[in-house]
Amino acid sequence: MAQQTGASKVELWGIVDAAVRHTTNEGKDQSGLTKMIGGGMSQSRWGIKVEEDLGGGSKALVELEHRFNTDTGDKDATAPFFQ
C-alpha cells in the first residue's frame, strides 16, 4: 500500500555584506581612494534549503551554500562552489 507524502519546501536565501571605504594618501595622485569592498561583519553568501517529507515520519534535507564577492559578483575563489 502506497503512503501519501507531504509537501516539499524549497527556500532560497542570502545575505549581502558590503561597505564603502575611503582612504587618504592612496591612488595615483595620493589624493585618496573610495571603493566598495566586501563587508567586515559577515561573508556574503546565498543558498538553497530543501525539505521533502518522505512519509512515515521521515524527511530528506538538503542545504547548499555559496560565498560570493559583493564588489564584483564573482564566486569566492577561496571556497569551492556549494560547500
Per-residue H/E/C for the chain: CCCCCCCEEEEEEEECCEEEEEECCCCCCCCCEEEEEECCCCCCEEEEEEEEEEECCEEEEEEEEEEECCCCCCECCCCCCCC
**Per-residue pLDDT at 22 exceeds 90:** no
Whole-prediction pTM: 0.61
Calpha distance 46→83 (Å, rounded): 11
pLDDT value of position 68: 85
Per-residue pLDDT tens digits for 26-80: 777 777 888 888 777 788 889 999 999 988 889 999 999 888 888 777 877 776 6
Please tell me the predicted confidence (pLDDT) of residue 10. Answer: 95
| Cell (9 digits) for 22 | 575611503
> Who has greater pLDDT, 3 or 66?
66
